[in-house]
Structure 1
Amino acid sequence: MFTGIVEMIGEVKEFIEQDTSDVGGYGSSIVITKCELILSDVHLGDSIAVNGTCVTVTDFNSTDFKVGVAPETLRRTNLGELRPGDKVNLERAVAGHVRFGGHFVQGHIDTTAEILSITPDGNAKTFWFQPKDSEILRFVVEKGFIAVDGASLTVIDVDEEVRKGFSVMLISYTQEKIVTASKPVGATVNIEVDLMGKLLEKQVTRQIDNQLKGQLNNTLGSMIDKAIDERMKHIR
């Protein structure tokens, strides 16, 4: 589990296709360098989010670490586009003793998105994104959470009809701390929607199905009603 608070920006040192040297076997690997800050307490098998993608450390030294990348990960994320010299957002898995500054981020990417536009607004910038899978927009709400390349951001607006996307605003501080700020229009980012939305949809859908089948569970129904009320309080 992660918070979406990017700890540092690392640099891709090597992308190894068809790597057979790792314990994980035949697949791809990425070596990331210039990341001493997050390697002081690293262990083999630890999880690190690379551009918001939860991957496993298979080798490391004082400055570099290596992760294995499965074919499904390459299909779902922008990691397959990385080349030596590219910058990436990095975050270690959250520890129990730290403040939780962002939102619950699993590191399981839902889809990628294309940057549609970048508009300056004072010293901030508004980014519009169009997801490759537009179905995820049902989980994206104004002022809700979303993870873009692993960074926890607040949704400014959602347009499901024309742009088929959503926007976020990056303040000047955030622009210095995440890779998204330096990406151009047309570039690809990783998207993970708020887990709470997916869980809520599943429970509501199941409850509706039960109602249609005449199998309404009053206890579950009251739990869902309470959950919806609590969620609406936060949205307001």
Structure 2
Amino acid sequence: MFTGIVEIMGRVTDVSPLDSTSSGGGGFSITIGEAADILVDCHLGDSIAVNGTCLTVTEFDTNSFKIGVAPETLRKTNLGSLKVGQQVNLERAMSAHTRFGGHMVQGHVDGTCTIHSRTEDGNAITFVFQVAEQWAELMTYIVPKGFIALDGTSLTVIDVDDEKRTFSIMMIAYTQTKVVMPQKAVGDEVNFEVDMMGKYTGKGVEAMIKRYLNGEEGEAIIAKAVDRVLAKRAAAGSQ
């Protein structure tokens, strides 16, 4: 679990395919340097969020660490487009005594969105993002003033347009110096993770509705609702 408060920006030093005998377990690996500040208490198998993606440390030294990236992760994130020299957001998994300054972030990226526009607003920047069509159903969980994690950064949603699949955030000057987003241009991909509490709530409501609609209990609830509407109309007509 993470908080969405990026600790440092590391830099990609190597991107390599892996065979089945390597530490990454086959597939794809990334080595990230300039990470000494978050490796002082690192152990093999620890979780570090890279651009908001929870990944397992397979090798490390005092300044860099390696992570393996599975095909499913490549399909859901922007990690497959990383190049040597690029900076990435880094956050260690939260500890029991962490000050909780962001929101509950799992590091399980839901998909990618693209930067639709970026507009200077004083010393802040307003970003508008468009969610890829294959993840359009996730717009349900993106709400004004709600949480969203973008490349692992906890941010507050300003506006949402479900029809256009867009939403916006504003990034203050301080945050701009601490995360990778300001380095990106219109059209670039950004990882997003919607608020996990919204997903759990939506799943529970959906299951409840299905249970009621598939049984006599559901029919009784609908009948009561219809009776209440008819009673209100009858009462209004008699006045």
Q: Distance in 2 between matches of 1:216 and 1:103?
A: 37
Q: Distance in 2 between matches of 1:149 and 1:65?
A: 19
Are the aligned partners of 1:207 and 1:216 in contact in 2 as well (CA < 8 Å)?
Answer: no
Q: Which deviates the most, 200-209 or 21-30?
A: 21-30
Query: How far apart are residue 209 of structure 1 and its match?
Result: 1.0
Q: Give a deviation string over 1:127-179, Cα, whole Å, max 9, x none.
A: 00111122111100000000000000000000112x32100000000111110
TM-score, scaled relative to structure 1: 0.89
Q: Distance in 1 between matches of 2:217 and 2:41?
A: 50
Q: Distance in 2 between matches of 1:87 and 1:24?
A: 21
Are the aligned partners of 1:134 and 1:165 in contact in 2 as well (CA < 8 Å)?
Answer: no
CA distance 1:59–1:206, change in 2 (3 Å)? same
CA distance 1:82–1:21, change in 2 (3 Å)? farther
CA distance 1:104–1:216, change in 2 (3 Å)? farther
Q: 1:223 aligns to what?
A: none
Q: 1:122 aligns to what?
A: 122
Q: 1:187 aligns to what?
A: 188
The alignment status of 1:142 with 2:139, answered yes or no, reads no
Are the aligned partners of 2:18 and 2:24 in contact in 1 as well (CA < 8 Å)?
Answer: no
Q: Distance in 2 between matches of 1:49 and 1:72?
A: 16
Secondary structure class of the residue paired with 1:85: coil
Are the aligned partners of 1:4 and 1:104 in contact in 2 as well (CA < 8 Å)?
Answer: yes
CA distance 1:213–1:95, change in 2 (3 Å)? same
Q: Distance in 2 between matches of 1:180 and 1:208?
A: 40
Identity fraction in percent = 57
Q: Distance in 2 between matches of 1:58 and 1:215?
A: 54
Q: Distance in 2 between matches of 1:75 and 1:193?
A: 17
CA distance 1:9–1:21, change in 2 (3 Å)? farther
Q: Distance in 2 between matches of 1:176 and 1:20?
A: 39
Query: How far apart are residue 97 of structure 1 and its match?
Result: 0.9
- Aligned-partner residue type, residue 89 of structure 2: N
Greater Rg, structure 1 or structure 2? Answer: 2
Q: Distance in 2 between matches of 1:214 and 1:202?
A: 19
Structure 2 unaligned blocks of 5 or more: 219-239
Q: Distance in 2 between matches of 1:7 and 1:59?
A: 20
Secondary structure class of the residue paired with 1:2: coil
Structure 1: which 4+ aligned runs deviate by more than 4 Å?
A: none
- Aligned-partner residue type, residue 71 of structure 2: P
CA distance 1:160–1:44, change in 2 (3 Å)? same
Q: Which deviates the most, 206-215 or 130-139?
A: 206-215
Q: Distance in 2 between matches of 1:215 and 1:194?
A: 34
Structure 1 unaligned blocks of 5 or more: 218-236
Correspondence 1:1-236 to 2 at 5 A: 1-20=1-20, 22-132=22-132, 133-161=135-163, 163-214=164-215, 216=217
Q: 1:221 aligns to what?
A: none
Q: Which deviates the most, 27-36 or 13-22?
A: 13-22
- Aligned-partner residue type, residue 47 of structure 1: S
CA distance 1:207–1:14, change in 2 (3 Å)? same
CA RMSD of aligned residues (A): 1.3
